[in-house]
Amino acid sequence: MNIHYNDKTNLLYFRLDDSVQDVINKRVTEDIVLDVGADDKIIGIEVLNASKRIALKNLFPIEYETAKA
């Protein structure tokens, strides 16, 4: 997973799948857009106007754990 923030466009993007593929954008709220790939798999999540929706100073730097299979 990759997380990107563009301060010029105020867009926060969570990329869940790094494979190259065609996606369809599905707006689910005014500020949330899902990038949906094959088999209706969510590939990415766009948060528009991110600084109004998320306390970005609390988000970065990010610390996370991954589940072991």
The pLDDT value recorded for residue 19 is 85
The pLDDT value recorded for residue 64 is 56
Name the pTM for this structure. Answer: 0.76
Annotated domain spans of the chain: 2-59
Per-residue pLDDT of the chain (69 residues; tens, 9 = 90+): 888 888 899 999 999 988 888 999 999 999 999 999 988 999 999 999 988 888 777 766 665 555 565
| SS3 label, residue 68 | coil
| CB atoms near residue 38 (< 10 Å) | 11
